[in-house]
Amino acid sequence: MTDALPDVPAERRPRHIAIIMDGNGRWAERRGLPRIEGHRRGVASVRRTVEEAARLHIEQLTLYCLSSENWKRPPHELEFLMHLLEQYMIEERKTIMDENIRVAVIGRRDGLPEATLREIDKTIELSATNTGTRLCLAINYGGRAELLDAVKRIAAKVRDGKLDPAALSEQTIADYLYTAGMPEPDLLIRTAGEMRISNFLLWQISYAEIWVTEHCWPEFSDADLRAAIRDFARRDRRFGGLNA
């Protein structure tokens, strides 16, 4: 297969790309369409982006699908989002297996419909031994909630005498996050021109490079993803220090 990024050597590419998929509703409203049509078109962008990430051998792609704050949206929109998620898990299984993609989900399960959870769990189980790109979906996810859940688990271990407070480290916290065992994002992409983090991977993106596009998520293309990777490859990542 021809490499779509021959000008970017593998060692300059991000291991882990995280994306805040924003602008589905705005994309639809600008075209006089219902907001749910924007979400429907957004699924096509998910499909394209996942397949392109797999072709580029990106180790992990994390997509912000549903935040814990999104429950404030109208019930009919939330119901449609759950339907789309369930449908995606069913319809994309063949592609996921053919492309050797491993699926993971982070976030709280509370409030998600049983039927949706059942299809998510089935896809995770079927793809568990795949060795290609890990597709991590953040569903009912909030960065503060993740940190709170980690603190509670750590506190319980300390209370039970299974963890010494003096031995706590940054790695300890990382080990109790939803993303335990995953690499931290190298590149954070946000669509629709928004310049916010929106409670996404607050701990994990400490040193991530940020790339923002004015394109709404339904417009996000393979070319946008490659442009973000090229821009990332040109950046000088010092992690607080100085390069020689």
Per-residue pLDDT reduced to its tens digit, 20-56:
999 999 999 999 999 999 999 999 999 999 999 999 9
Range of the structural domain that residue 92 is part of: 15-143+184-232
Q: Is residue 42 part of a domain?
A: yes
Query: Does 2 score more than 70 pLDDT?
Result: no
Q: Is the overall model pTM greater than 0.85, yes or no?
A: yes
For residue 97, what is the domain's CATH number?
Answer: 3.40.1180.10
Q: Is residue 44 part of a domain?
A: yes
Looking at the chain, the whole-number percentage of residues with pLDDT higher than 90 is: 91
Q: What is the pLDDT of residue 71?
A: 86
Q: Is residue 227 part of a domain?
A: yes
Residue numbers annotated as active site: 22, 70
Q: Is residue 111 part of a domain?
A: yes
Q: What is the pLDDT of residues 72-90, one digit of tens each?
A: 888 999 999 999 999 999 9
Q: Is residue 190 part of a domain?
A: yes
Residue 102 DSSP SS3:
strand
Q: Which residues are CB-neighbours of 110 under 8 A, at least 6 positions away? A: 140
Q: Is residue 188 part of a domain?
A: yes
Neighbours of 27 (CB within 10 A): 24
Exposure on the CB side of residue 145, measured as CA atoms within 13 A:
16
Q: Is residue 198 part of a domain?
A: yes
Q: Is residue 33 part of a domain?
A: yes
In total, how many domains does the chain have? 1
Q: What is the pLDDT of residue 237?
A: 83
